[in-house]
Structure 1
Amino acid sequence: MNYRLLALLCLLTTTVSQLFAQGGQGSGGAIPTISTFTTGMEKHPGYMTFYWDAKKGKIWLEIDKFDTELLYYPTLAQGVGSNDIGLDRGRLGQEHIVKFQRSGPKVLLIEPNYSYRAISNDPLERRAVEESFAKSVHAGFDITAEEGGRVLVDLTPFLMQDAVGAVQAITRTRQGTFRFDPNRSAMYLPRTKAFPQNTEFETIITLTGDNPGAYLREVVPTPSIVTVHQHHSFVQLPEPGYKPRAFDPRIGYGGIEYFDYATPVSQPIMKRYISRHRLEKKDPSAKVSEAVKPIVYYVDPGTPEPIRSALVEGTAWWNQAFEAAGFKDAFQVKLLPADADPMDVRYNLVQWVHRSTRGWSYGGSISDPRTGEIIKGKVTLGSLRVRQDYLIAQGLVGDYAGALAPNADPMMQMSIERLRQLAAHEVGHTLGLPHNYIASTHNRASVMDYPTMVAKIKGASIDISDAYAKGIGEYDKWSIRYGYEQFAKDANEKQSLDNIVNDMHKAGLTFLTDKDARPEGSVHPATHLWDNGANAVDELKRVSDVRKLVLSNFSEKKIPVGTPMATLEEVLVPMYMFHRYQVEAAAKVVGGQAYTNALRGDGQPVVSTVPVAEQKRALDALVATIDPAFLAVPKSVLALIPPHPFRYDPNPREVFKRRTGLSFDPMAAPEAAAGMTLQMLFNPERTSRLVAQSAIDPGQLSLEAMLDQLLAVTWYKADPSDSYQAEIKRLTDKLLLQKLIDLANNQEATAQVRAIAGLKLSQLKGKLNASNANPKVAAHHFFALDQLRRAEGNVADVKPTNPQTPPDGMPIDTGQEWLAPACDWHP
């Protein structure tokens, strides 16, 4: 043989082999086998087997399941630490049903569109729907090696991305312009694992950017470089056998919904099902039975005591509800094993998360988008919340004789009681339940309400021994029965579920949620956040009495000896604003309507306007909260609060805004509180309802009557003899004037609302006197006349003093909109 030809052949053979080893493919040649290509790599067999190429820092994924659906979802394993940005440790991303589909030398990761279906045995009918709506291709891969029906692809580029939307979160919160930096990102092997039913990958992701905002500067060592850990989970979908359960709007459950185009025209095309865990009795015929597979929740062992025990106890409350649904020990709580990965889909988790400021806690879940079956429940609890609870207790009952309070136990006990309730609340979300904000009017019937502490007057002191409910609520038992009760094989499930709801109504319980309670202009008189009591007006009066006693007893003993006196302000804020949420509750009585989520024929009341006498009672109670005597900060308290010392700068959200520089502003607290009440009463939706309800029933409370009453206690009333209260009264007058001007020009209000507000401004102008003998009153009237003249010409010429807003309230108790999966922000 020609030696030159032999040498050339050897060279070509070596070159081709090198190309194969690098994942290359000769023109028209075969690609290498998986076993050959992965020689020297670290193999991880499991649900989706992968290989770790340490030399190149790559993950090679072996795909042996084509056109087989699986579940993919990203999570944030290590977070940023800012409540405002929302990128918390353990935050769940959106789940996706995906499948690998091969096309020649390429593999696509495709997400079918389960929002539009045809539940039919006819394949052509199903295909017609499938071809009518778009799919999503999440990634495309070139096949690098192949063997025995299996292919190997480079998964690394898919993993090296901002899968949870951290860049968007930073942009949304105006914290700078950031981008993913691949050069500072890498695989994180300690939490990259393969299990029989799931395969988990974790990456170190770095974002770099310009002009980082204050939130980032607060929590990131070099704010222009933000490094987090993101996690990717590929999970085997649940085995067949789960039966979706229909949704009923009269009892609260989140879940899935989709269009079913195989539905007869005479029936609703939208199908709605609840989200719930799979739970089956070992003995279906028994009234009470153990579960085939109990629901187990794990508590983060990184939670300190005594908080950890409180979380375990509160989470375990749900077993009471599952017992009511016919299960024995079907809901269990354990500590997460030290060597377990909290991101592992096999663990329902209650996770303790740290942030730089107090913030929301929330519960969410990963569920099967096809059926609504919950696969993983995940609770995030903010660690600083308990300190806010303790601060509130400190303001209510604190009495420090020295560095420690002799009655510290009641303060810690109240905080622990709140943590138990909080754990139960957030776990409830992961079981499928949304908020039920009407439950507090039925003797604290649900942990899914937002509770505020119940503080009672006992003699000359405050009693917080019954601050929070102890155990699951009666509504919670009905809701778990609806979602999880197992019926006999021959039972009519629809009728059985309907019976549960009807029996719940007979017990005096009902359900209303976020859309009914959160909007400022919401209408139901009994559906609120952070309220208590069966009647909002009565509770406002009771809470106002508690506030009065607390402020009258407020002294330096609210903080330990050795603590800067200026820090008294942080304790004062929640005490002064103690009535804030009950004001919101009572305001909804004005122009309010009671209603239910009634179905035709179920016998529930549908809708009715709140009786005029109750609306007037509410207005009287609200007017009392803008009385100067109510708003004045006790002068004894003003004498206790100096400017904050060096290195003790307060969080500006936790103290009153001020116009007086470093010194405590004695007008800021009254301005915030009065502005809060007026804001609720002047809501354009509420004022529009007042016009409408008095048109339908002239005997009802009218907008004119409400405005006349407010003017009577402000502009048309003489100043108090106390000079401080007189200045507060003039402040409230100006706030009311600005609200009237705003209402008269508010395009969201009805034309008649604007007309009535304009008339009241004209009547007020005729009664003002800028030549009053009292120079303070003269200046006050001169200011008002000038504002009115400007408003008559062009409202844009009005120069209002922007009213001070109250310090942050929510999350005064933690919680969040129900999220499944969490995203997210349960305020």
Structure 2
Amino acid sequence: MKKYLLICLSLLFAHHVLKAQDIQTKTKGFAKYTGYFNFYWDEKAGKVYLEIDKLNQEFLYVNSLPAGVGSNDLGLDRGQIGDSRIVKFIKIGPKVMLIQPNYNFRAVSNNADERKSVEEAFAQSAIWGTTVFAEEGDKVLIDLTPFLLRDSHRLADRLSGSDQGSYSPDESRSAVYLANTKSFPDNTEFEAMVTLAGKATGAEISSVTPDANAVTVRMHQSFIKLPDAGYKPRKFDPRSGYFDVEYMDFAKPIGDPNVQRLLSRHRLQKKDPSAAISEPVKPIVYYVDRGAPEPVRSALIEGAGWWNQAFEAAGYKNAFIVKLLPEDADPMDIRYNIIQWVHRSTRGWSYGASISDPRTGEIIKGQVSLGSLRDRQDFLIAEGLLQPYEDGKPVSDKMLQQALARLRQLAAHEVGHTLGLQHNFTASVNDRASVMDYPPPVASLVKADGSIDVNKAYKINIGEYDKRAILYGYQDFAAGTNDEEALKGIIGETIKQGFLFITDEDARPAGSAHPQAHLWDSGNDAADELNRLLLLRRQVLDNFSARAIRQDAPMATMEEVLVPMYLIHRYQTEAAAKMLGGLYYTYALKNDGQTITRFVPSAQQWKAFDALMATLKPDALAMPEKLIAMIPPRPPGYPRTRETFKARTGLTFDPLAAAEAAAGTTLAFMLQPERAARLVEYQARDAAQPGLLPVLNKLIAQTWKAPDAAGYKGELQRLVNNLTLKQLLQLAANTNAAESVRGIALLQIDDLKKWMQSTLLTATGNRKANLLFGLAQLSQFEKTPDKFQSAKPLNMPDGSPIGADADLIY
């Protein structure tokens, strides 16, 4: 019996020794990388083996794109962060799977059974699976290579979704990118060069790849240690200006809301929370891309560094620091908050994204991507305003200074997103109180000599609203403070100081109603600012000349500089349109003292209407003859682009087409279906409100029924007449519009038809032609009103950073 036991023990010991040596044996000759997760590199096979010593232990998994496609329209940029997910490895028999628990539904409770009931009620996701390659005690070794070489960023789906072609990963043309495959104490980083092979069908992917049938990028995947329990989550307030993390907590009492929302922010603590001014336990440090050239680099460092002003106002000393990225640093390393300088084939949006802990909202890493062509657009705008290229004279540096001023503001804006802040699109009406708005360059007319002043194009510091927002999100309260009451006090004081927060969903849609929430607008009153811009625009157009382009530039390229000048009022027009049928409102909480809703006074709406009509007048739409004569057809090598005017005249420059694009946009804003529905509703509730029918009556009186002008301006007037009728017919035909709106539009159409018929009897020449075309449109509409489709007006050249409206969080 003893001999039998001795044999068994010997066998068990031998088996244990064999097992203990298994990983070591399997990895003999491989390069070992130690860190959060250890991994091994097999140079001969080109494989990465991962040692998992954290089975059933949750960590953060993030995929990203360190080397992208280079197209703003496709939205696949260098440095783009993908999904952030809490995951864990589990082992079942010979299988190892990467599992994502469902943190959208939780039971925040000490009761294990309660937590288990929620976990079992909702599905989890198995992200990936493989088999054990070697095993040693509670450690397992797996071949991670297939995981690294897959399309983790889902580029194939995104290219297919944008009609660029059908793609799939080609393993034969993919490999681990060892230079950025590393392991650190709190994070392990993997990178691969992945080739998506397929059949290209889209022009955009073809324009940015050497061979559009083989799209080779680098994909990065990070395994990150979750933050410790030292972070204190902060309750989200919709008035605070922050992003939130949302989940359902089924452990909440029946009388309490089970949807919980937490603020998204970095961890920041004072060394002495009771002190008025204190250094932080650990500062927030951002690093600027070494690839940004001077003077861009210095502008980015300075602009991003403005945020320290806000942290100082919150009682911190040196809490926010901006540095140049060290030469040996990897920008994809989780330890570095990064401001990247990203190149694309076209100008486009910049982004501020974050890697966060989904459990608490704690931001672990901020990642800013700044489009490198944005500064060139501001330079172009400054060229149009200043027209600085005079023969024999030195060129002013004001264009460069304006471009750099915008970059400072842009750096601050995108960093703000990575601090947790949303856009605030009402800041422009309060002396540009926040860098989280979209600012246009503010230019003013110098009355003495008619020149244009751009010395104050952009703000040069953090905004006063931004200081209040940082105070709410990052104030570290002394022991014994009731945090909830203190935070209510901060919000209350912010409201008392006159700051309002309104964000994207209330500012971006064409039919949005808030009279103060706009993109790229200026001034306290949208209509007043539109009138001011029209005066400045007229001055610029009347004096526009070849001084707007460099020596030896083709004369046709005057058009590139002309476009943002001719359309300099485009965003202010949209802002003024929101006053028409507008509703002032706040994100009010019960009993917080804010105005909940309020109609825009009738007088202000009619003022906005008059300002909008001013953009449609022939005097506003006309270009000087001397300017038109200076723009020839495009020379070889300089084709029309999305940023030049469309034309109906073939190769020649078409000033009427430019007017069509501008006027058609104004009319589309004025007769937007939701806006029209509000005009009807608000007048029904308050007879003093303008109402849709009076607005349409005035519109027709100032277009079709206005005295006919002669020559070029007469042609512009008839152009506006046609656009007005088409927009009115589209409103009546729109089955998604309110029926009351369609009825009023039909009434107006019927009255206009009768007027046209009677006026036609005495009309001659072009006026008669205009009336006949209008009656033909009406006849076509009457046949099938619900299916009527008139020719759409020409679109404006691209204005906002071009490409798809992704953010998002630009």
Q: Which residue of 2 aligns with 1:751?
A: 739
Change (3 A) 1:521 1:657: same
AA aligned opposite 1:624? A
Q: Which runs of 5+ in 1 are unaligned?
A: 1-25, 820-825
Does the Cα contact within 8 Å between 1:361 and 1:815 map onto a contact in 2?
Answer: no
The equivalent position to 2:726 in structure 1, one of 738, 742, 757, is 738
TM-superposed deviation, 1:174: 1.3
- Give 1:429 deviation, angstroms: 0.2
Contact 1:141/1:153 (CA < 8 Å) preserved in 2?
yes
Deviates more, 1:48-57 or 1:141-150: 141-150
SS in 2 for 1:288: coil
Q: Once the 2 structures are TM-superposed, how far is the Cα of residue 255 of structure 1 from its aligned partner? A: 2.1
User: Within 5 Å, which residues of 2 pair with 1:158-307?
Assistant: 158-307=147-296
Say which of 421, 438, 441 aligns to 2:409: 421
CA distance in 1, matches of 2:149, 2:644: 42
**Deviation at 1:767?**
1.4
Aligned-residue CA RMSD in angstroms? 1.6
Aligned-residue offset at 1:31: 10
Q: 2:366 aligns with which of 377, 398, 408?
A: 377
Aligned to 1:120: 109
Alignment-derived partner of residue 756 in structure 2: 768
- Counterparts of 2:560 and 2:331, CA distance in 1: 35
User: Which amino acid letter does the alignment assign opposite residue 179 of structure 1?
Assistant: S
Structure 2 residue matching 1:706: 3-state secondary structure: helix
Return the alpha-carbon distance in structure 2 between the equivalents of residues 120 and 425 of structure 1: 38
Mapped to 2, the partners of 1:815 and 1:190 lie a distance apart of: 34
The aligned amino acid for 2:370 is L
Cα deviation digits, residues 693-732 of structure 1 (max 9, x gap): 11111221010111011101111112113x1111111111
Q: 1:441 touches 1:532 (CA, 8 Å); kept in 2?
A: yes
| Structure 1 consecutive aligned stretches of length 4 or more whose deviation exceeds 6 Å | 29-32, 812-816
Residues 108 and 140 of structure 1 are in contact (CA less than 8 Å); yes or no, is this contact kept in structure 2?
Answer: yes
The 2-side partners of 1:374 and 1:414 are apart by: 33
Q: Deviations over 1:377-421 (max 9, x none)?
A: 000000011100000000001221248x63521111111100000
Which amino acid is 2:610 matched to?
A: D
Question: 1:388/1:814 Cα in 2 relative to 1: closer, same or farther (>3 Å)?
Answer: farther
Partners of 1:239 and 1:266 in 2: CA distance: 31
Alignment-derived partner of residue 10 in structure 2:
none
Query: Do the aligned residues in 2 keep the contact of 1:361 with 1:814 (CA within 8 Å)?
Result: no
**Is the 8 Å Cα contact of residues 429 and 818 (structure 1) preserved in structure 2?**
no
Which residue of structure 2 lines up, in the alignment, with residue 436 of structure 1?
424
Q: How does 1:140-155 map to 2 (within 5 A)?
A: 140-155=129-144
Matched-pair contact (CA < 8 Å) for 1:362–1:815: no
Equivalent in the alignment of 1:409: 397
Q: Which residue of 2 aligns with 1:466?
A: 456
- What letter matches 1:412 in structure 2? L
1:585 matched to which residue of 2?
A: 575
The equivalent residue for 1:698 is 687
What are the superposed Cα offsets for residues 224-264 of structure 1, whole Å, 9 maximum, x if unpaired? 11100000101111121101000111121002010000111
Q: Report the residue type matching 1:610 in the other structure.
A: V
Q: Does 1:483 pair with 2:489?
A: no
Structure 1: distance between partners of 2:655 and 2:359? 58
Say if 1:30 and 1:318 are closer, same or farther in 2 by CA, change over 3 A: closer
1:796 deviation in Å? 6.9
| C-alpha separation in 2, matches of 1:745 and 1:653 | 30
Give the C-alpha shift of residue 488 in structure 1.
1.3
Name 1:525's counterpart in structure 2: 515
Larger mean CA deviation between 469-478 and 213-222 belongs to 213-222
- How far the C-alpha of 1:112 sits from its partner, in A, is 0.7
| Residue 443 of structure 2, aligned match among 443, 455, 469 | 455
Q: How is 1:49-198 mapped onto 2 (pairs within 5 angstroms)?
A: 49-198=38-187
Q: Percent identity?
A: 54
154 and 610 in structure 1: CA distance in 2 versus 1, 3 angstrom threshold: same
How far apart are the structure 1 equivalents of 2:550 and 2:146? Answer: 55
For 2:762 and 2:335, locate their aligned partners in 1 and report how far apart those are by CA, in whole Å. Answer: 76
Match of 2:491 in 1: 501
Distance 1:203 1:687 in 2: 53
Instruction: Tell me if structure 1 keeps the 8 A contact 2:730–2:790.
Output: no
The answer to whether the 8 A contact 2:735-2:786 is kept is no
Distance 1:581 1:243, change over 3 A: same
Which residue of structure 1 lines up, in the alignment, with residue 305 of structure 2? 316
Displacement of 1:676 in angstroms is 0.7
Name which of 697, 701, 725 aligns with 2:713: 725
Contact 1:583 1:677 in 2 (8 A): yes
- Specify whether residues 773 and 313 from structure 1 end up closer, same or farther in structure 2 by C-alpha distance, changes over 3 A only: same
TM-score using structure 2 length: 0.96
Separation in structure 1 between the aligned mates of residue 461 and residue 391 of structure 2, nearest angstrom: 35
Secondary structure at 1:266 match in 2:
coil
Q: Give the number of the structure with larger relative contact order, counting CA–CA contacts within 8 Å between residues 6 or more apart.
A: 1
Q: Is the 8 A contact 1:452 1:813 kept in 2?
A: no
Question: Per the alignment, in what secondary structure is the counterpart of residue 298 of structure 1?
Answer: strand
Contact 2:49 2:144 in 1 (8 A): yes
Q: Does 1:594 align with 2:568?
A: no
Q: Which amino acid aligns with 1:57?
A: G
Q: In the alignment, is the contact (CA less than 8 A) between 1:31 and 1:145 conserved in 2?
A: no
* Structure-2 change in CA distance of 1:133 and 1:814 (3 Å): closer
TM value normalised by structure 1: 0.94
Residue-pair matches, total: 790
Q: State which of 593, 618, 629 in structure 2 corresponds to 1:628.
A: 618
Choose 782-791 or 353-362, whichever is displaced more.
782-791
Once residues 698 and 591 of structure 1 are traced to their aligned partners in structure 2, the CA distance between those partners, rounded to angstroms, is 13
Give the whole-Å Cα distance in 2 for the aligned partners of 1:39 and 1:617: 81
| Structure 2: distance between partners of 1:562 and 1:796 | 54
Aligned-pair distance for 1:33?
0.5
Structure-2 change in CA distance of 1:304 and 1:343 (3 Å)? same
Q: Contact 1:626/1:732 (CA < 8 Å) preserved in 2?
A: yes
Which deviations, in whole Å up to 9, do the C-alpha atoms of 1:173-229 show, x marking residues without a partner?
A: 211112211111111111111111111111001011213311112110111111000
Stretches of structure 2 that go unaligned for 5 or more consecutive residues are: 1-14
Amino acid at match of 1:166: L
The alpha-carbon distance between structure 1 residues 269 and 187, as it changes in their structure 2 partners (threshold 3 A), is: same
Cα deviation code 1:634-687 (max 9, x no counterpart): 21110110111111224x211011111111012111101100110001100000
1:359 alignment partner, SS class: coil
Whether contact under 8 Å (1:362, 1:816) holds in the other structure is no
Give SS of 2:323's match. strand
